[in-house]
Structure 1
Amino acid sequence: MSDFEQRSAEKEARSTTPGRPWTPRQEPHQDALRRYLTAVAAAASARSAEEPEPAAGREKPEPPAAAAPEPPAREPAGLRVRDVMQVPAASVPGDMPFLDVAHALAREQVSAVPVVDADDHVIGVVSESDLLAKAAVMAEPRRHGPVGRLWQHRLYDKSHGDTAATLMTFPPVTVHPAERVADAAWTAAHARLKRLPVTDHRGRLVGVVSRSELLRALIRDDTEIQTEVESLAAQHLLVPHSVQVAVENGVVTMTGRLDRALVPALLAAVRDIDDVVAVVDEIEAA
């Protein structure tokens, strides 16, 4: 992650921090959000490490013609956008009138839809904010004062349009079906978008993925983590039931009686499991 992206992420985290303490009912959401941001940041760091910047005065080297296949990744890092996207995806044509676009958003119960051309290529995205700006101009055509005229000049000009193509935001931010879920989550977070159109290599719409779907894919349920920890314990121990496992918000608590010589390797293996936030060792010596 670059210094600029790091500062942007810190600014975003500060802006989303509530002005008052989290209530007990909100704490699980806070923990899930922290785990989500950690996963996204890890994906961004890994991508930066895999793609080093070229030296000054040199062009970025081309990838080899026949690269060796990557080893299979562990879930959820191995999940791809195609595994979590919605199909089919709702869309509107570029010549759809303003009121029909508003009805389409209400009918689909979404906050934004891709705008496509006659060949189903995604040319932009029209959202509730675009329609609100249009509705505001219809209600009050003239904006008062120099600040009102200059503030978000592009949005003000765009709001005079009457069709999806003239109201939409472009160029669109899209992802590919084969893209990693973690990378798509970073794209959504960086662009501050709730929904991302999914396009094929020709830019044609094939689906849509939301932030909530990316979040669920990145953060596994505690029950799933517990199942994996218990399976791992069965591989490490001759008597798997000698250790009991409990998981809450990604924190694994291990209790029971066991030869202390076996504990360090077991705990290290558990810490390496995806989405494990911490491991609490309450194992007694046998």
Structure 2
Amino acid sequence: MTTRPFTVADVMTTKVVAVRPGAEFKEIVAAMERWKVTALPVVEGEGRVVGVVSEADLLLKEEFHDHRLGLIEQMRRLGATAKAGSRRAADLMTSPAITVAPDAALPQAARLMAAHGVKRLPVVDTHGTIRGIVSRSDLLKVFLRPDEGLAAEVRHDVVEHLFPASHHRIDVHVEEGVVTLSGRVRDSSLVPVAARLARAVEGVVDVRCELTADAEV
């Protein structure tokens, strides 16, 4: 049976620490310190995400504490100065929050993080209700898959699929996530395809393709 692609739901953290819009500055700082996180979702009602408050949002208060801005700089950094003078999560948070769905593919979550410069994303359902948190480190969990499991998936989903008549002549070896394909195949045009498909298996770090063409196979 073909293994389904990993999704955000497979790697996310389901224990979520969040704050309400009315949470005070010190309450937010204390929650971050207690749970060792750098950002917190802000939720209302039954858990609908309305924003995210991060260390960067909170540090604006420290930045402007002893620093008087000129009128031009105040206008240019209007949002930042407003946050610096705020105390509640509703005023400090970044809104709307950048979120991701539980069934999103891992590369999609990674692209969202990179595009918006964030380290974690609230995971929400179709109603916007929080279901978990996915972080950069969570996305790397897929690379902890056992070598034996990777080898079995590559053999079943790649080798046996592409080379049904000669798969028994192909060896699949995986060490530390690096796949080595070796042996003889009949159709040389499928060799780069095999390498590409093996590299696409989630958890594979790299692929060494040592397959050779043999018309008599």
Q: Same fold (TM over 0.5)?
A: yes
230-239 or 190-199, which moves further after superposition? 230-239
Q: Note the residue ranges of structure 2 that are not aligned, 5 or more in a row.
A: none
What do the CA deviations read for 1:134-181 (whole angstroms, capped 9, x no partner)?
2333x41x4245665455331122111011111111111112223333
Q: Does 1:185 align with 2:106?
A: no
Specify which of 97, 106, 114 is matched with residue 24 of structure 2.
Answer: 97
124-133 or 175-184, which moves further after superposition? 175-184
How far off its partner does 1:93 sit? 1.1
Specify which of 150, 166, 172 is matched with residue 245 of structure 1.
Answer: 172
Given that residues 126 and 164 in structure 1 are in contact (C-alpha distance below 8 angstroms), is that contact kept between their aligned partners in structure 2? yes
Task: Please give the TM-score of this superposition, normalised by the length of structure 1.
Answer: 0.59
Given that residues 111 and 127 in structure 1 are in contact (C-alpha distance below 8 angstroms), is that contact kept between their aligned partners in structure 2? yes
Given that residues 174 and 197 in structure 1 are in contact (C-alpha distance below 8 angstroms), is that contact kept between their aligned partners in structure 2? yes
How far off its partner does 1:90 sit? 0.9
Q: 1:107-186 to 2 correspondence within 5 Å?
A: 107-137=34-64, 139-140=65-66, 142-145=67-70, 148-186=73-111
Given that residues 98 and 164 in structure 1 are in contact (C-alpha distance below 8 angstroms), is that contact kept between their aligned partners in structure 2? yes
SS at structure 2 position matched to 1:134: helix
1:229 and 1:266 mapped to 2: Cα distance? 14
2:133 and 2:50 mapped to 1: Cα distance? 14
Given that residues 11 and 141 in structure 2 are in contact (C-alpha distance below 8 angstroms), is that contact kept between their aligned partners in structure 1? no
Task: Please give the TM-score of this superposition, normalised by the length of structure 2.
Answer: 0.75
**RMSD of aligned residue pairs (Cα, Å):** 3.4
2:146 and 2:76 mapped to 1: Cα distance? 46
How far off its partner does 1:81 sit? 2.5
Q: Residue type of the partner of 2:27?
A: D
Q: Note the residue ranges of structure 1 that are not aligned, 5 or more in a row.
A: 1-71
Specify which of 127, 133, 137 is matched with residue 212 of structure 1.
Answer: 137
Partner of 2:152: 227
Given that residues 159 and 194 in structure 2 are in contact (C-alpha distance below 8 angstroms), is that contact kept between their aligned partners in structure 1? no
1:283 and 1:246 mapped to 2: Cα distance? 16
Specify which of 202, 209, 212 is matched with residue 280 of structure 1.
Answer: 209
How far off its partner does 1:193 sit? 1.4
Larger strand percent:
2
Q: Percent identity?
A: 32
2:13 and 2:178 mapped to 1: Cα distance? 31
How far off its partner does 1:187 sit? 2.0
1:179 and 1:254 mapped to 2: Cα distance? 30
Q: Does 1:271 align with 2:196?
A: yes
2:48 and 2:9 mapped to 1: Cα distance? 18
Q: Does 1:84 align with 2:7?
A: no
SS at structure 2 position matched to 1:175: coil
